[in-house]
Structure 1
């Protein structure tokens, strides 16, 4: 009983200490500014801007055990990023997409999903049917990090003249975070002046409430909290987090 009381007090103290910080992070998110497409047009016309779409596949949007209404909800914003980027001259579109082997080790942590040669692993039709879809560079990945075990690192080495990469998709705290951080840290390591931009309205993560997690024997995952915290953490590491790109 004494140990239980100590644990309870420890949790209460942690929550009390964390409240000011969480309030500050929420306030930061509310004050995010927009970025203008016009400000990127010259670089785009020079071939120096790319859009990275992360896991906008059927298995996270439309079907399967990991499909999420939260992720599905950003489809219009992601499509808008693609259309507006193309309008200003962007021709580099990288589609990093889960395409797991049947024996994927990741299935120990997540239910089997987006397996090779299934509809779950296919690009969502909202992006696949855009008239410039032939420009897409598709990177099939078997882990959260699109640079491990893929040809994406070689692609990045071939595009050292990039000045800006816009990252959209899901999940904010998983594959989006891994991609954006890799891009930024790679640029830092080689002193490359690469801007990595994440529009908050075009990324999202899933939600598993505590009570649901307890019922199904999974880890709880608060989508609102983790989406916010990982946006903030990317910002702390030099990634430009904006509310949206418009105009």
Structure 2
């Protein structure tokens, strides 16, 4: 078993490799996707872009709020390219949600925290949104979204944006990837790194509060890298 010094040396080398990998991420253009953005062949999955993670509440994060313009760009670019399936998976917790044992109460059904951020709600094609309320980190457990996916055998591209990179975004992107793998479907699952992020709890703050530390930059990169290892297309941006 490695000593703590050996472990840190390996960790530093590995993290430097991931930083180098991230710096070389390519951009993707809507023109490159033009052949598969017709109705029924492409979808945008927006994860938890709601007030309770962006603008107000115990779990609102400035890092997540900062990706709003890039998420809006993806929505507008996708619509202009012909995409008409916009799946908005959003926390809508019951008051007795067992998830509140792990996270502070947040985004409860019927509150403004569980509502769309206005930046998305006010887009002119918002009537196309399929809102998927969820009571867990997964957009596919207890929501019926799995049935929607089963009916979309022609789906060629799934673009995933939102928060958090290491939690709900990861769960959604991996479910899509594993579903396609299991059924031998040629589905491209794409995550633009500039349109996803996660929250930050520094080590010192965590120690003071007696909770788990959560370094947003480290976990954001680690989970982008892990998604890439599993066949998800991680790009810098879609332009």
TM class, shorter-length: over 0.9
Of 3, 12, 24, 1:10 maps to 3
Structure 2 SS opposite 1:45: coil
Of 188, 195, 198, 1:195 maps to 188
In 1, Cα distance between the equivalents of 2:203 and 2:161? 27
How many residue pairs get aligned? The number is 239
Counterpart in the other structure of 1:224: 217
RMSD (Å) for aligned C-alpha atoms? 1.2
Structure 2 SS opposite 1:32: coil
Counterpart in the other structure of 1:112: 105
CA displacement at 1:206 relative to structure 2: 0.4
In 1, Cα distance between the equivalents of 2:154 and 2:182? 15
Moved over 6 A (4+): none
In 2, Cα distance between the equivalents of 1:75 and 1:239? 22
Q: Which runs of 5+ in 1 are unaligned?
A: 1-8
Instruction: State whether structure 2 residue 99 is matched by structure 1 residue 139.
Output: no
Q: For residues 66 and 46 of structure 1, do their structure 2 counterparts lie closer, same or farther at Cα, with a shift above 3 Å needed?
A: closer
Of 12, 33, 38, 1:19 maps to 12
* Structure in which a larger fraction of residues adopt helix: 1
Of 72, 76, 79, 2:69 maps to 76
Of 147, 152, 173, 1:154 maps to 147
In 2, Cα distance between the equivalents of 1:11 and 1:141? 40
Q: Which runs of 5+ in 2 are unaligned?
A: none
Q: Give TM-score scaled by structure 1 length.
A: 0.95
Q: Which residues of 2 match residues 38-117 of structure 1 at below 5 A?
A: 38-117=31-110
Counterpart in the other structure of 2:115: 122
1:35-89, Cα deviation, whole Å (9 max, x unpaired): 0101112211253110000000000000000000000000000000000100010
Counterpart in the other structure of 2:202: 209
In 2, Cα distance between the equivalents of 1:57 and 1:17? 38
Q: For residues 46 and 93 of structure 1, do their structure 2 counterparts lie closer, same or farther at Cα, with a shift above 3 Å needed?
A: closer
Q: Give TM-score scaled by structure 2 length.
A: 0.98
Counterpart in the other structure of 1:4: none
2:40–2:152 Cα contact (<8 Å) kept = no
